[in-house]
Amino acid sequence: MLSTFECLCICLSADGESFILLTIYRPGSTRAPSLFYDELSTVLESLVLQRCQVVVGGDLNIHVEDPTDIDAQWLAAVFDAFDMQQHFMEPTHRLGGTLNLVATFSDYDVTNLTVDHSLITCTLPS
C-alpha cells in the first residue's frame, strides 16, 4: 500500500504495441518525504517487469525545473536509475514552476507536448 502518493496504472494497446500509463498525484502542501522516492521506485520496479514501455504522468508537486531543488535531484536520481527522462520543462502551474510531468524510458519518443491550465498533452509513438 502506498502512503505518499495516489496513482492509477493501466495498460493500453494500439497498433499491436502496448504501453503502461502510470498517473500520479502527490499532494504539494509539504516536501516529498524520502519514503516517496522509495515507494515510487518500488512501483517502477514492478512496471519494468512487464517488459513494455512505461509513460509516467501526473502532478508530483516537485519543482523539476529547479536543478538546485533537493526533491528535483532525488526525483532525477530515481528516473536515472530506470533510464527514464522527464520530457516537459515549461511552467505547468499558474504561479510558475514545472510541477506536472511526463516521463518515459529514454528510448521512447514523445512529441507535441503542450500545457493548458496544468493539463499536459502529448503524442506517443503508437
Q: What is the CATH number of the domain that holds 82?
A: 3.60.10.10
pLDDT score recorded for residue 117: 64
pLDDT digits (tens, 9 = 90+) for 41-56: 999 999 999 989 999 9
Task: Give domain status of residue 71, yes or no.
Answer: yes
Task: Give domain status of residue 19, yes or no.
Answer: yes
Task: Give domain status of residue 13, yes or no.
Answer: yes
Give just the sign of the alpha carbon dihedral 74, 48, 25, 7: negative
Buried b (16+ CB within 10 A) or exposed e, 31-70: ebeeebbebbeebbeebeeeeebbbbbbbbbbbbbeeebe
Task: Give domain status of residue 1, yes or no.
Answer: no
Task: Give domain status of residue 83, yes or no.
Answer: yes
pLDDT digits (tens, 9 = 90+) for 88-115: 666 555 555 666 788 999 998 887 877 7
pLDDT score recorded for residue 47: 95
pLDDT score recorded for residue 90: 64
Q: For 67-94, what is the mean pLDDT?
A: 85
Checking if the pLDDT of 121 tops 80, the result is no
What total number of domains does the chain contain?
Answer: 1
Task: Give domain status of residue 25, yes or no.
Answer: yes
Checking if the pLDDT of 25 tops 90, the result is yes
The residue range of the domain holding 102 is 6-123
pTM: 0.85
